[in-house]
Structure 1
Amino acid sequence: MKRIWIYGVAIMLALPFTQGCVSNKKYQSLQTEYNEMQTREQELNKRYQEAQQKLSSTTTRVSGLEDQIASERANVKALQDALDKCLASSNQGNVNISKLVDEINASNRYIQHLVNAKNRSDSLNMVLTNRLTRSLSREEMRDVDVQVLKGVVYISLSDNMLYKSGSYEISERAGETLSKIAKIIMDYKDYDVLVEGNTDNVPISKPNIRNNWDLSVLRGSSVVQALQNEYGVDPRRLTAAGRGEYNTIADNATESGRARNRRTQIIITPKLDQFMELIDKAPEGGGNDQDSAAASTVPADTLRMQ
Protein backbone atom coordinates (compact mmCIF):
# COMPACT_ATOMS: atom_id res chain seq x y z
CA MET A 1 0.00 0.00 0.00
CA LYS A 2 2.86 2.37 0.84
CA ARG A 3 4.47 1.78 -2.55
CA ILE A 4 1.16 2.40 -4.39
CA TRP A 5 0.71 5.66 -2.40
CA ILE A 6 4.20 6.80 -3.38
CA TYR A 7 3.46 5.98 -7.03
CA GLY A 8 0.28 8.02 -6.77
CA VAL A 9 2.11 11.05 -5.37
CA ALA A 10 4.75 10.71 -8.08
CA ILE A 11 2.06 10.68 -10.77
CA MET A 12 0.39 13.79 -9.30
CA LEU A 13 3.73 15.66 -9.16
CA ALA A 14 4.58 14.62 -12.69
CA LEU A 15 1.16 15.62 -14.08
CA PRO A 16 2.10 19.16 -15.20
CA PHE A 17 5.14 17.82 -17.04
CA THR A 18 3.50 14.78 -18.60
CA GLN A 19 0.59 16.83 -19.91
CA GLY A 20 3.10 18.87 -21.86
CA CYS A 21 4.47 15.72 -23.52
CA VAL A 22 1.35 13.66 -24.19
CA SER A 23 -2.32 14.41 -24.71
CA ASN A 24 -4.61 14.39 -21.68
CA LYS A 25 -6.65 11.58 -23.24
CA LYS A 26 -3.58 9.38 -23.69
CA TYR A 27 -2.41 10.20 -20.15
CA GLN A 28 -5.79 9.25 -18.69
CA SER A 29 -5.75 6.02 -20.72
CA LEU A 30 -2.31 5.10 -19.36
CA GLN A 31 -3.41 5.96 -15.82
CA THR A 32 -6.49 3.75 -16.16
CA GLU A 33 -4.43 0.89 -17.57
CA TYR A 34 -1.96 1.23 -14.70
CA ASN A 35 -4.76 1.10 -12.10
CA GLU A 36 -6.22 -2.00 -13.77
CA MET A 37 -2.80 -3.65 -13.69
CA GLN A 38 -2.52 -2.89 -9.95
CA THR A 39 -5.93 -4.43 -9.26
CA ARG A 40 -5.15 -7.48 -11.40
CA GLU A 41 -1.82 -8.01 -9.67
CA GLN A 42 -3.45 -7.88 -6.23
CA GLU A 43 -6.08 -10.44 -7.26
CA LEU A 44 -3.48 -12.78 -8.79
CA ASN A 45 -1.23 -12.48 -5.73
CA LYS A 46 -4.16 -13.41 -3.47
CA ARG A 47 -4.95 -16.50 -5.56
CA TYR A 48 -1.28 -17.37 -5.63
CA GLN A 49 -1.00 -17.31 -1.83
CA GLU A 50 -4.06 -19.56 -1.54
CA ALA A 51 -2.62 -22.01 -4.08
CA GLN A 52 0.77 -22.04 -2.33
CA GLN A 53 -0.92 -22.91 0.98
CA LYS A 54 -2.87 -25.70 -0.68
CA LEU A 55 0.22 -27.09 -2.42
CA SER A 56 2.22 -26.93 0.83
CA SER A 57 -0.58 -28.76 2.70
CA THR A 58 -0.67 -31.54 0.07
CA THR A 59 3.11 -31.98 0.16
CA THR A 60 3.08 -32.11 3.97
CA ARG A 61 0.40 -34.81 3.98
CA VAL A 62 2.31 -36.99 1.52
CA SER A 63 5.49 -36.65 3.59
CA GLY A 64 3.56 -37.36 6.78
CA LEU A 65 2.06 -40.51 5.25
CA GLU A 66 5.54 -41.85 4.53
CA ASP A 67 6.58 -41.08 8.13
CA GLN A 68 3.44 -42.84 9.38
CA ILE A 69 4.26 -46.00 7.43
CA ALA A 70 7.80 -46.04 8.86
CA SER A 71 6.42 -45.51 12.37
CA GLU A 72 3.95 -48.36 12.01
CA ARG A 73 6.67 -50.70 10.79
CA ALA A 74 8.77 -49.81 13.81
CA ASN A 75 5.75 -50.51 16.01
CA VAL A 76 5.32 -53.96 14.47
CA LYS A 77 8.99 -54.75 15.05
CA ALA A 78 8.68 -53.73 18.69
CA LEU A 79 5.60 -55.92 19.15
CA GLN A 80 7.32 -58.84 17.43
CA ASP A 81 10.33 -58.45 19.74
CA ALA A 82 8.02 -58.44 22.73
CA LEU A 83 6.33 -61.61 21.48
CA ASP A 84 9.70 -63.33 20.95
CA LYS A 85 10.78 -62.49 24.48
CA CYS A 86 7.47 -63.74 25.81
CA LEU A 87 7.84 -67.07 24.03
CA ALA A 88 11.50 -67.43 25.08
CA SER A 89 11.01 -66.77 28.76
CA SER A 90 8.71 -68.80 31.00
CA ASN A 91 8.95 -66.02 33.59
CA GLN A 92 6.77 -63.83 31.37
CA GLY A 93 3.89 -66.28 31.25
CA ASN A 94 1.53 -63.63 32.57
CA VAL A 95 1.66 -61.79 29.25
CA ASN A 96 -1.42 -62.26 27.13
CA ILE A 97 0.20 -63.78 24.04
CA SER A 98 -3.04 -64.05 22.13
CA LYS A 99 -3.77 -60.35 22.56
CA LEU A 100 -0.23 -59.48 21.49
CA VAL A 101 -0.58 -61.55 18.30
CA ASP A 102 -3.89 -59.84 17.52
CA GLU A 103 -2.28 -56.45 17.99
CA ILE A 104 0.55 -57.34 15.62
CA ASN A 105 -1.89 -58.57 12.99
CA ALA A 106 -4.01 -55.43 13.28
CA SER A 107 -0.95 -53.22 12.92
CA ASN A 108 0.13 -55.16 9.84
CA ARG A 109 -3.28 -54.66 8.25
CA TYR A 110 -3.17 -50.96 9.00
CA ILE A 111 0.32 -50.63 7.48
CA GLN A 112 -0.92 -52.36 4.34
CA HIS A 113 -3.86 -49.97 4.18
CA LEU A 114 -1.54 -46.96 4.34
CA VAL A 115 0.78 -48.45 1.73
CA ASN A 116 -2.16 -49.15 -0.58
CA ALA A 117 -3.43 -45.58 -0.18
CA LYS A 118 -0.04 -44.12 -1.08
CA ASN A 119 0.43 -46.56 -3.98
CA ARG A 120 -2.95 -45.63 -5.39
CA SER A 121 -2.09 -41.93 -5.34
CA ASP A 122 1.34 -42.61 -6.88
CA SER A 123 -0.21 -44.84 -9.56
CA LEU A 124 -2.68 -42.16 -10.63
CA ASN A 125 0.17 -39.66 -10.96
CA MET A 126 2.29 -42.09 -12.96
CA VAL A 127 -0.58 -42.89 -15.34
CA LEU A 128 -1.15 -39.17 -15.87
CA THR A 129 2.57 -38.60 -16.49
CA ASN A 130 2.90 -41.52 -18.89
CA ARG A 131 -0.14 -40.45 -20.90
CA LEU A 132 1.23 -36.94 -21.26
CA THR A 133 4.77 -37.94 -22.25
CA ARG A 134 3.43 -40.44 -24.82
CA SER A 135 1.27 -37.74 -26.39
CA LEU A 136 4.16 -35.29 -26.84
CA SER A 137 6.43 -35.39 -29.89
CA ARG A 138 10.20 -35.66 -29.64
CA GLU A 139 10.50 -31.99 -30.58
CA GLU A 140 8.00 -30.96 -27.89
CA MET A 141 9.84 -32.99 -25.25
CA ARG A 142 12.89 -30.76 -25.74
CA ASP A 143 10.88 -27.88 -24.26
CA VAL A 144 8.73 -29.85 -21.78
CA ASP A 145 9.90 -31.59 -18.61
CA VAL A 146 7.46 -33.80 -16.65
CA GLN A 147 8.23 -35.00 -13.11
CA VAL A 148 6.41 -36.45 -10.10
CA LEU A 149 7.73 -35.09 -6.79
CA LYS A 150 6.14 -36.00 -3.43
CA GLY A 151 2.79 -36.89 -4.92
CA VAL A 152 2.58 -33.83 -7.20
CA VAL A 153 2.96 -33.72 -11.01
CA TYR A 154 5.15 -30.88 -12.32
CA ILE A 155 5.01 -29.97 -16.03
CA SER A 156 7.73 -27.41 -16.83
CA LEU A 157 7.55 -25.55 -20.16
CA SER A 158 10.37 -23.35 -21.50
CA ASP A 159 9.53 -19.72 -22.21
CA ASN A 160 11.00 -19.73 -25.73
CA MET A 161 8.36 -22.32 -26.65
CA LEU A 162 5.45 -20.70 -24.83
CA TYR A 163 5.84 -16.95 -25.34
CA LYS A 164 7.02 -14.35 -27.75
CA SER A 165 10.38 -12.90 -26.63
CA GLY A 166 10.11 -10.66 -23.54
CA SER A 167 6.32 -10.97 -23.61
CA TYR A 168 3.51 -12.78 -21.85
CA GLU A 169 1.62 -13.36 -25.09
CA ILE A 170 1.42 -17.08 -25.93
CA SER A 171 2.99 -18.04 -29.25
CA GLU A 172 1.23 -20.04 -31.95
CA ARG A 173 3.87 -22.75 -31.53
CA ALA A 174 2.65 -23.47 -27.99
CA GLY A 175 -0.96 -24.14 -28.98
CA GLU A 176 -0.63 -27.82 -29.87
CA THR A 177 1.38 -28.60 -26.72
CA LEU A 178 -1.09 -26.79 -24.45
CA SER A 179 -3.99 -28.62 -26.09
CA LYS A 180 -2.42 -31.99 -25.18
CA ILE A 181 -1.84 -30.86 -21.59
CA ALA A 182 -5.39 -29.52 -21.38
CA LYS A 183 -6.81 -32.88 -22.52
CA ILE A 184 -4.96 -34.67 -19.72
CA ILE A 185 -6.15 -32.09 -17.18
CA MET A 186 -9.77 -32.47 -18.30
CA ASP A 187 -9.55 -36.28 -18.08
CA TYR A 188 -8.43 -36.03 -14.44
CA LYS A 189 -11.24 -33.93 -13.00
CA ASP A 190 -10.28 -34.66 -9.37
CA TYR A 191 -7.03 -32.72 -9.71
CA ASP A 192 -6.41 -29.00 -9.20
CA VAL A 193 -4.02 -27.03 -11.40
CA LEU A 194 -1.58 -24.26 -10.41
CA VAL A 195 0.15 -22.41 -13.26
CA GLU A 196 3.30 -20.70 -12.01
CA GLY A 197 5.49 -18.33 -14.05
CA ASN A 198 9.26 -18.07 -13.40
CA THR A 199 11.91 -15.76 -14.88
CA ASP A 200 15.66 -15.26 -14.81
CA ASN A 201 17.22 -12.28 -12.98
CA VAL A 202 17.66 -10.02 -16.01
CA PRO A 203 15.56 -6.86 -15.43
CA ILE A 204 12.59 -6.45 -17.75
CA SER A 205 12.10 -3.19 -19.61
CA LYS A 206 8.62 -3.09 -21.12
CA PRO A 207 5.72 -0.61 -20.89
CA ASN A 208 3.32 -1.44 -18.05
CA ILE A 209 5.53 -4.32 -16.80
CA ARG A 210 7.45 -3.02 -13.81
CA ASN A 211 9.67 -6.01 -13.06
CA ASN A 212 10.07 -9.80 -13.28
CA TRP A 213 7.36 -10.29 -10.66
CA ASP A 214 4.83 -8.69 -13.01
CA LEU A 215 6.11 -10.67 -16.00
CA SER A 216 5.97 -14.03 -14.20
CA VAL A 217 2.41 -13.47 -12.91
CA LEU A 218 1.19 -12.28 -16.31
CA ARG A 219 2.69 -15.34 -17.96
CA GLY A 220 0.99 -17.66 -15.49
CA SER A 221 -2.27 -15.83 -16.06
CA SER A 222 -1.91 -16.09 -19.86
CA VAL A 223 -1.58 -19.87 -19.70
CA VAL A 224 -4.54 -20.15 -17.28
CA GLN A 225 -6.73 -18.10 -19.62
CA ALA A 226 -5.65 -20.17 -22.62
CA LEU A 227 -6.54 -23.40 -20.77
CA GLN A 228 -9.93 -21.94 -19.87
CA ASN A 229 -10.90 -20.01 -23.01
CA GLU A 230 -9.33 -22.10 -25.76
CA TYR A 231 -9.38 -25.63 -24.33
CA GLY A 232 -12.38 -25.61 -21.98
CA VAL A 233 -10.70 -26.37 -18.64
CA ASP A 234 -12.98 -25.52 -15.70
CA PRO A 235 -11.60 -22.21 -14.29
CA ARG A 236 -12.55 -23.27 -10.76
CA ARG A 237 -9.72 -25.81 -10.94
CA LEU A 238 -7.17 -23.24 -12.14
CA THR A 239 -4.91 -20.82 -10.25
CA ALA A 240 -2.45 -18.37 -11.83
CA ALA A 241 0.74 -17.41 -9.99
CA GLY A 242 4.23 -16.04 -10.49
CA ARG A 243 7.49 -16.38 -8.55
CA GLY A 244 9.58 -13.88 -10.46
CA GLU A 245 13.31 -14.63 -10.46
CA TYR A 246 13.35 -16.23 -6.98
CA ASN A 247 12.60 -19.90 -7.73
CA THR A 248 15.76 -20.81 -9.64
CA ILE A 249 16.76 -24.29 -10.77
CA ALA A 250 20.05 -23.21 -12.36
CA ASP A 251 22.74 -20.53 -12.03
CA ASN A 252 21.72 -17.19 -13.56
CA ALA A 253 25.40 -16.42 -14.22
CA THR A 254 25.27 -18.35 -17.52
CA GLU A 255 22.97 -18.07 -20.52
CA SER A 256 22.07 -21.77 -20.33
CA GLY A 257 21.21 -21.37 -16.64
CA ARG A 258 19.04 -18.32 -17.30
CA ALA A 259 17.26 -20.22 -20.09
CA ARG A 260 16.40 -23.04 -17.66
CA ASN A 261 15.09 -20.56 -15.09
CA ARG A 262 12.79 -18.91 -17.64
CA ARG A 263 9.96 -21.42 -17.47
CA THR A 264 6.28 -21.86 -16.63
CA GLN A 265 5.26 -24.77 -14.41
CA ILE A 266 1.85 -26.43 -14.58
CA ILE A 267 1.48 -28.15 -11.20
CA ILE A 268 -1.22 -30.83 -10.97
CA THR A 269 -2.20 -31.88 -7.45
CA PRO A 270 -4.85 -34.26 -6.03
CA LYS A 271 -7.68 -32.45 -4.29
CA LEU A 272 -7.20 -32.60 -0.54
CA ASP A 273 -10.62 -34.08 0.22
CA GLN A 274 -9.91 -37.02 -2.09
CA PHE A 275 -6.46 -37.49 -0.56
CA MET A 276 -7.81 -37.49 3.01
CA GLU A 277 -10.53 -39.96 2.02
CA LEU A 278 -7.81 -42.40 0.99
CA ILE A 279 -5.97 -41.91 4.27
CA ASP A 280 -9.01 -42.10 6.55
CA LYS A 281 -10.65 -45.09 4.89
CA ALA A 282 -10.71 -47.91 7.46
CA PRO A 283 -9.04 -51.25 6.68
CA GLU A 284 -11.33 -54.16 5.80
CA GLY A 285 -12.79 -55.89 8.82
CA GLY A 286 -12.98 -52.62 10.79
CA GLY A 287 -15.00 -52.54 13.97
CA ASN A 288 -13.53 -55.62 15.63
CA ASP A 289 -11.11 -55.73 18.55
CA GLN A 290 -8.09 -56.18 16.30
CA ASP A 291 -8.76 -53.03 14.30
CA SER A 292 -9.48 -51.16 17.51
CA ALA A 293 -6.04 -52.18 18.77
CA ALA A 294 -4.48 -50.86 15.59
CA ALA A 295 -6.33 -47.58 15.91
CA SER A 296 -5.18 -47.23 19.51
CA THR A 297 -1.55 -47.38 18.44
CA VAL A 298 -1.99 -44.53 15.91
CA PRO A 299 -4.04 -41.55 17.15
CA ALA A 300 -6.40 -39.98 14.62
CA ASP A 301 -4.79 -36.58 15.09
CA THR A 302 -1.48 -38.02 14.06
CA LEU A 303 -2.98 -39.41 10.85
CA ARG A 304 -4.32 -35.99 9.91
CA MET A 305 -0.95 -34.43 10.75
CA GLN A 306 -2.55 -31.28 12.07
Structure 2
Amino acid sequence: MKTKSYLFAAMASVLLFSCVSPKKLRQSEAKYAELSATYLDLQAKYRALQDELNKANNQNTDLTTRKAALENQISELNKQIEYLKANNNTVLNQLKDLSVVTGSQAESIKKSLENIGAKDLYIKDLQGSIARKDSLNMALVMNLKGAIGNLDDKDINIKVDKGVVYVDISDKLLFKSGSYDVTDRAKEVLGKVAKVLNAQPEIEFMVEGHTDSLPIRSAGIADNWDLSVKRATSVVRILQDTYGLDPKRMTAAGRSQYLPLADNTTAEGRSANRRTRIVILPQLDQFFKLLERK
Protein backbone atom coordinates (compact mmCIF):
# COMPACT_ATOMS: atom_id res chain seq x y z
CA MET A 1 0.00 0.00 0.00
CA LYS A 2 2.83 2.41 0.91
CA THR A 3 4.63 1.59 -2.35
CA LYS A 4 1.55 2.60 -4.36
CA SER A 5 1.29 5.82 -2.45
CA TYR A 6 4.93 6.70 -3.19
CA LEU A 7 4.48 5.94 -6.88
CA PHE A 8 1.38 8.10 -7.02
CA ALA A 9 3.19 11.03 -5.37
CA ALA A 10 6.14 10.72 -7.73
CA MET A 11 3.89 10.68 -10.80
CA ALA A 12 2.01 13.72 -9.51
CA SER A 13 5.28 15.65 -9.06
CA VAL A 14 6.39 14.79 -12.59
CA LEU A 15 3.05 15.86 -14.05
CA LEU A 16 3.11 19.12 -12.04
CA PHE A 17 6.67 19.96 -13.14
CA SER A 18 5.81 19.21 -16.76
CA CYS A 19 2.96 21.74 -16.55
CA VAL A 20 5.44 24.58 -15.96
CA SER A 21 6.16 26.18 -19.32
CA PRO A 22 9.75 26.92 -20.42
CA LYS A 23 8.83 30.62 -20.62
CA LYS A 24 7.78 30.77 -16.96
CA LEU A 25 10.90 28.88 -15.96
CA ARG A 26 13.11 31.38 -17.81
CA GLN A 27 11.25 34.28 -16.17
CA SER A 28 11.80 32.76 -12.73
CA GLU A 29 15.48 32.25 -13.46
CA ALA A 30 15.82 35.86 -14.64
CA LYS A 31 14.06 37.15 -11.53
CA TYR A 32 16.33 35.07 -9.33
CA ALA A 33 19.41 36.45 -11.10
CA GLU A 34 18.11 40.00 -10.68
CA LEU A 35 17.47 39.49 -6.95
CA SER A 36 20.92 37.96 -6.49
CA ALA A 37 22.56 40.97 -8.18
CA THR A 38 20.56 43.38 -6.00
CA TYR A 39 21.57 41.48 -2.88
CA LEU A 40 25.27 41.62 -3.81
CA ASP A 41 24.98 45.35 -4.51
CA LEU A 42 23.37 45.97 -1.10
CA GLN A 43 26.08 43.92 0.61
CA ALA A 44 28.79 46.04 -1.06
CA LYS A 45 27.06 49.28 -0.05
CA TYR A 46 26.69 48.03 3.50
CA ARG A 47 30.40 47.20 3.76
CA ALA A 48 31.29 50.65 2.38
CA LEU A 49 29.04 52.34 4.94
CA GLN A 50 30.59 50.33 7.76
CA ASP A 51 34.06 51.47 6.64
CA GLU A 52 32.94 55.11 6.69
CA LEU A 53 31.40 54.66 10.14
CA ASN A 54 34.58 53.09 11.52
CA LYS A 55 36.61 55.98 10.09
CA ALA A 56 34.37 58.57 11.78
CA ASN A 57 34.50 56.71 15.11
CA ASN A 58 38.32 56.56 14.90
CA GLN A 59 38.45 60.32 14.26
CA ASN A 60 36.25 60.98 17.29
CA THR A 61 38.42 58.72 19.49
CA ASP A 62 41.58 60.46 18.26
CA LEU A 63 40.20 63.91 19.14
CA THR A 64 39.16 62.76 22.63
CA THR A 65 42.62 61.26 23.24
CA ARG A 66 44.45 64.34 22.04
CA LYS A 67 42.25 66.65 24.10
CA ALA A 68 42.97 64.55 27.22
CA ALA A 69 46.69 64.77 26.43
CA LEU A 70 46.49 68.56 26.18
CA GLU A 71 44.65 68.78 29.49
CA ASN A 72 47.34 66.59 31.10
CA GLN A 73 50.00 68.83 29.60
CA ILE A 74 48.31 71.90 31.10
CA SER A 75 48.22 70.18 34.50
CA GLU A 76 51.93 69.32 34.30
CA LEU A 77 52.82 72.87 33.26
CA ASN A 78 50.87 74.24 36.22
CA LYS A 79 52.85 71.96 38.54
CA GLN A 80 56.12 73.19 37.02
CA ILE A 81 55.04 76.79 37.49
CA GLU A 82 54.29 76.16 41.16
CA TYR A 83 57.67 74.49 41.56
CA LEU A 84 59.46 77.39 39.86
CA LYS A 85 57.59 79.91 42.00
CA ALA A 86 58.59 78.05 45.17
CA ASN A 87 62.26 77.95 44.12
CA ASN A 88 62.12 81.57 43.04
CA ASN A 89 60.76 82.60 46.44
CA THR A 90 63.73 80.86 48.07
CA VAL A 91 66.18 82.74 45.89
CA LEU A 92 64.38 86.05 46.39
CA ASN A 93 64.60 85.63 50.13
CA GLN A 94 68.35 85.66 49.72
CA LEU A 95 68.10 89.14 48.25
CA LYS A 96 67.44 90.44 51.75
CA ASP A 97 71.15 90.07 52.18
CA LEU A 98 72.72 91.22 48.92
CA SER A 99 76.11 89.94 50.01
CA VAL A 100 75.04 86.32 49.43
CA VAL A 101 73.80 86.81 45.86
CA THR A 102 76.40 85.88 43.27
CA GLY A 103 76.39 86.72 39.58
CA SER A 104 75.31 83.18 38.65
CA GLN A 105 72.41 83.34 41.13
CA ALA A 106 71.24 86.62 39.66
CA GLU A 107 71.29 85.07 36.16
CA SER A 108 69.38 82.06 37.47
CA ILE A 109 66.71 84.35 38.93
CA LYS A 110 66.34 86.10 35.59
CA LYS A 111 65.97 82.84 33.65
CA SER A 112 63.48 81.49 36.17
CA LEU A 113 61.28 84.57 35.79
CA GLU A 114 61.47 84.33 31.99
CA ASN A 115 60.62 80.62 32.14
CA ILE A 116 57.57 81.24 34.31
CA GLY A 117 56.30 83.93 31.94
CA ALA A 118 56.71 81.72 28.84
CA LYS A 119 54.98 78.70 30.40
CA ASP A 120 52.14 80.83 31.75
CA LEU A 121 51.59 82.36 28.30
CA TYR A 122 51.54 78.88 26.67
CA ILE A 123 48.96 77.64 29.17
CA LYS A 124 46.76 80.65 28.48
CA ASP A 125 47.06 79.95 24.72
CA LEU A 126 45.95 76.32 25.22
CA GLN A 127 43.06 77.27 27.43
CA GLY A 128 42.01 79.99 25.01
CA SER A 129 42.08 77.56 22.05
CA ILE A 130 39.89 75.02 23.86
CA ALA A 131 37.51 77.80 24.89
CA ARG A 132 37.28 79.08 21.29
CA LYS A 133 36.48 75.57 20.00
CA ASP A 134 33.74 75.18 22.63
CA SER A 135 32.42 78.63 21.68
CA LEU A 136 32.22 77.63 18.01
CA ASN A 137 30.20 74.53 18.96
CA MET A 138 27.82 76.53 21.15
CA ALA A 139 27.34 79.10 18.38
CA LEU A 140 26.46 76.28 15.98
CA VAL A 141 23.94 74.86 18.48
CA MET A 142 22.31 78.26 18.95
CA ASN A 143 22.09 78.78 15.18
CA LEU A 144 20.45 75.36 14.74
CA LYS A 145 17.94 75.98 17.53
CA GLY A 146 17.16 79.42 16.16
CA ALA A 147 16.59 78.08 12.64
CA ILE A 148 14.40 75.15 13.71
CA GLY A 149 12.23 77.15 16.10
CA ASN A 150 9.92 75.89 18.83
CA LEU A 151 9.59 72.20 18.00
CA ASP A 152 8.70 69.73 20.75
CA ASP A 153 11.89 68.51 22.47
CA LYS A 154 10.54 64.96 22.10
CA ASP A 155 10.70 65.35 18.32
CA ILE A 156 14.07 67.08 17.99
CA ASN A 157 16.96 67.54 20.41
CA ILE A 158 20.20 69.48 19.85
CA LYS A 159 23.10 69.08 22.26
CA VAL A 160 26.89 69.13 22.70
CA ASP A 161 28.53 66.08 24.27
CA LYS A 162 32.32 65.75 24.72
CA GLY A 163 32.96 68.46 22.14
CA VAL A 164 30.66 66.98 19.46
CA VAL A 165 27.34 68.51 18.31
CA TYR A 166 24.40 66.09 17.94
CA VAL A 167 20.99 66.71 16.33
CA ASP A 168 18.48 63.93 17.17
CA ILE A 169 15.21 63.84 15.16
CA SER A 170 12.49 61.33 16.07
CA ASP A 171 11.28 58.89 13.42
CA LYS A 172 7.64 59.96 13.82
CA LEU A 173 8.67 63.41 12.55
CA LEU A 174 10.73 62.08 9.63
CA PHE A 175 9.14 58.80 8.49
CA LYS A 176 5.97 56.76 8.48
CA SER A 177 6.09 53.59 10.59
CA GLY A 178 8.34 50.91 9.06
CA SER A 179 9.17 53.16 6.07
CA TYR A 180 12.17 55.13 4.85
CA ASP A 181 10.16 57.66 2.80
CA VAL A 182 10.73 61.17 4.21
CA THR A 183 7.52 63.07 5.13
CA ASP A 184 6.72 66.58 3.87
CA ARG A 185 6.97 67.97 7.42
CA ALA A 186 10.40 66.37 7.77
CA LYS A 187 11.60 68.00 4.55
CA GLU A 188 10.71 71.39 6.04
CA VAL A 189 12.76 70.65 9.18
CA LEU A 190 15.69 69.29 7.15
CA GLY A 191 15.60 72.46 5.06
CA LYS A 192 16.15 74.57 8.19
CA VAL A 193 19.04 72.37 9.30
CA ALA A 194 20.52 72.51 5.78
CA LYS A 195 20.41 76.33 5.84
CA VAL A 196 22.67 76.40 8.91
CA LEU A 197 25.01 73.71 7.54
CA ASN A 198 25.30 75.49 4.18
CA ALA A 199 26.45 78.59 6.04
CA GLN A 200 29.35 76.53 7.49
CA PRO A 201 30.91 74.92 4.37
CA GLU A 202 33.95 73.65 6.28
CA ILE A 203 31.83 71.42 8.53
CA GLU A 204 31.49 67.70 7.76
CA PHE A 205 28.74 65.59 9.29
CA MET A 206 27.33 62.08 9.49
CA VAL A 207 23.66 61.07 9.29
CA GLU A 208 22.95 58.00 11.46
CA GLY A 209 19.79 55.89 11.33
CA HIS A 210 18.69 54.25 14.61
CA THR A 211 15.86 51.77 15.27
CA ASP A 212 14.29 50.01 18.23
CA SER A 213 14.81 46.28 18.85
CA LEU A 214 11.50 45.02 17.41
CA PRO A 215 11.91 42.95 14.20
CA ILE A 216 10.85 44.81 11.03
CA ARG A 217 7.88 43.46 9.10
CA SER A 218 7.80 45.50 5.90
CA ALA A 219 8.17 44.37 2.31
CA GLY A 220 11.52 45.22 0.75
CA ILE A 221 13.29 45.74 4.11
CA ALA A 222 15.44 42.87 5.32
CA ASP A 223 15.94 43.85 8.97
CA ASN A 224 16.66 46.79 11.30
CA TRP A 225 20.16 47.17 9.82
CA ASP A 226 18.61 47.59 6.40
CA LEU A 227 15.97 50.04 7.65
CA SER A 228 18.47 52.22 9.55
CA VAL A 229 20.79 52.48 6.53
CA LYS A 230 17.94 53.29 4.13
CA ARG A 231 16.61 56.00 6.44
CA ALA A 232 20.05 57.59 6.70
CA THR A 233 20.54 57.56 2.92
CA SER A 234 17.03 59.00 2.40
CA VAL A 235 17.93 62.00 4.59
CA VAL A 236 21.31 62.44 2.87
CA ARG A 237 19.64 62.46 -0.56
CA ILE A 238 17.17 65.16 0.56
CA LEU A 239 20.02 67.33 1.90
CA GLN A 240 21.98 66.87 -1.34
CA ASP A 241 19.27 66.93 -4.03
CA THR A 242 16.78 69.36 -2.50
CA TYR A 243 18.97 71.69 -0.44
CA GLY A 244 22.27 71.52 -2.32
CA LEU A 245 24.67 70.31 0.36
CA ASP A 246 27.99 69.07 -1.00
CA PRO A 247 27.92 65.23 -0.87
CA LYS A 248 31.64 65.17 -0.01
CA ARG A 249 30.73 66.66 3.38
CA MET A 250 28.25 63.91 4.27
CA THR A 251 28.38 60.30 5.49
CA ALA A 252 25.30 58.05 5.74
CA ALA A 253 25.40 55.28 8.34
CA GLY A 254 23.01 52.76 9.90
CA ARG A 255 23.36 51.86 13.60
CA SER A 256 20.33 49.52 13.71
CA GLN A 257 19.14 48.86 17.30
CA TYR A 258 22.57 48.71 18.89
CA LEU A 259 23.00 52.25 20.25
CA PRO A 260 19.77 52.83 22.23
CA LEU A 261 19.01 55.93 24.28
CA ALA A 262 16.44 54.16 26.46
CA ASP A 263 15.12 50.72 27.47
CA ASN A 264 13.68 48.83 24.49
CA THR A 265 11.32 46.85 26.74
CA THR A 266 8.90 49.79 27.05
CA ALA A 267 6.90 51.59 24.35
CA GLU A 268 8.26 54.96 25.51
CA GLY A 269 11.84 53.69 25.37
CA ARG A 270 11.41 52.23 21.89
CA SER A 271 9.94 55.53 20.70
CA ALA A 272 13.03 57.40 21.97
CA ASN A 273 15.35 54.91 20.27
CA ARG A 274 13.74 55.30 16.83
CA ARG A 275 15.55 58.38 15.60
CA THR A 276 17.84 59.90 13.00
CA ARG A 277 20.96 61.57 14.36
CA ILE A 278 23.05 64.21 12.59
CA VAL A 279 26.58 64.21 14.04
CA ILE A 280 28.74 67.27 13.37
CA LEU A 281 32.11 65.57 12.96
CA PRO A 282 35.04 67.10 14.87
CA GLN A 283 37.68 68.60 12.57
CA LEU A 284 41.07 67.81 14.08
CA ASP A 285 42.98 70.03 11.65
CA GLN A 286 40.75 73.01 12.38
CA PHE A 287 41.06 72.53 16.13
CA PHE A 288 44.84 72.41 16.10
CA LYS A 289 44.98 75.47 13.86
CA LEU A 290 43.44 77.30 16.80
CA LEU A 291 46.61 76.47 18.75
CA GLU A 292 48.78 78.31 16.25
CA ARG A 293 49.78 81.74 17.43
CA LYS A 294 48.52 84.52 15.23
2:46 equivalent to 1:41:
yes
Q: Which has the higher contact order (CA 8 A, sep 6+)?
A: 1
**CA distance, structure 1, for counterparts of residue 28 and residue 202 of structure 2:** 52
2:190 equivalent to 1:185:
no
2:254 equivalent to 1:254:
no
AA at the equivalent of 1:230 = T
CA change 1:190–1:63 in 2 (3 A) is farther
Counterpart in 2 of 1:73? 78
CA contact (8 A) 2:59 2:282 kept: no
After TM superposition, list the pairs within 5 Å mapping 1:3-14 onto structure 2.
Answer: none
Normalised to the residue count of structure 1, the TM-score between the two structures is 0.78
Deviates more, 1:235-244 or 1:40-49: 40-49
Q: State the percentage of identical aligned residues.
A: 39
Q: Which runs of 5+ in 1 are unaligned?
A: 1-15, 285-306
Counterpart in 2 of 1:85? 90
CA change 1:60–1:230 in 2 (3 A) is farther
CA change 1:188–1:61 in 2 (3 A) is farther
AA at the equivalent of 2:213 = N
**CA distance, structure 2, for counterparts of residue 180 and residue 69 of structure 1:** 40
2:277 equivalent to 1:265:
yes
Counterpart in 1 of 2:145? 133
CA contact (8 A) 2:211 2:274 kept: yes
Deviates more, 1:113-122 or 1:39-48: 39-48
Deviates more, 1:97-106 or 1:87-96: 87-96
Q: CA RMSD in A?
A: 2.5
**CA distance, structure 2, for counterparts of residue 117 and residue 217 of structure 1:** 36
Superposed displacement of residue 108, structure 1: 0.8
Deviates more, 1:147-156 or 1:78-87: 78-87
After TM superposition, list the pairs within 5 Å mapping 1:1-306 onto structure 2.
Answer: 23-88=28-93, 95=105, 96-139=108-151, 141-279=153-291, 281-282=292-293
Q: What secondary structure does 1:176 align onto?
A: helix
**CA distance, structure 1, for counterparts of residue 146 and residue 280 of structure 2:** 17
Normalised to the residue count of structure 2, the TM-score between the two structures is 0.81
**CA distance, structure 1, for counterparts of residue 135 and residue 117 of structure 2:** 26
Larger Rg: 2
CA change 1:92–1:231 in 2 (3 A) is farther
- Structure 1's consecutive aligned runs of 4 or more residues displaced over 4 angstroms after TM superposition are 89-95
Q: What secondary structure does 2:271 align onto?
A: helix
